[in-house]
Amino acid sequence: MAYLLYNTALALLTPPAKVWLRRQERHRPLLARFAPVVPPFSDAPLWIHACSVGEVGTARPLIAALKETLPNVPILLTTSTVAGRGQADKLNGDVA
């Protein structure tokens, strides 16, 4: 029953959340949560999710070690916050 209530609330709140995110310039990048753009990969990527700035910073050495150990395996890095995304964007060619 809890899942039914949660899923119903989520479905009802998604449209207003999209409108709110469009109006908030600072939070507009988070609209990607509803339709994420994932670049095409030739192989299945290693997916690392870092919620915030601190976790992106913590993931940097892991990403560097993975790139050194598995140079041909693509890495996909996702974040949950605008600030985390800003830090992830600074990694440029290391991850998608």
Which amino acid, one-letter code, is at 27?
Answer: H
Note if 68 is an active site residue. no
CB-CB neighbours of 88 under 10 Å:
24
Are 84 and 50 spatial neighbours (Cβ–Cβ below 8 Å)? yes
Q: Report whether 50 contacts 58 (CB < 8 A).
A: yes
Strand pairing report for 46-50 and 75-79: parallel
Active-site hit among 31, 52, 55, 91? 55
Residue 55 corresponds to which tokens in the numbers above? 């976790």
Catalytic amino acids?
Answer: 55
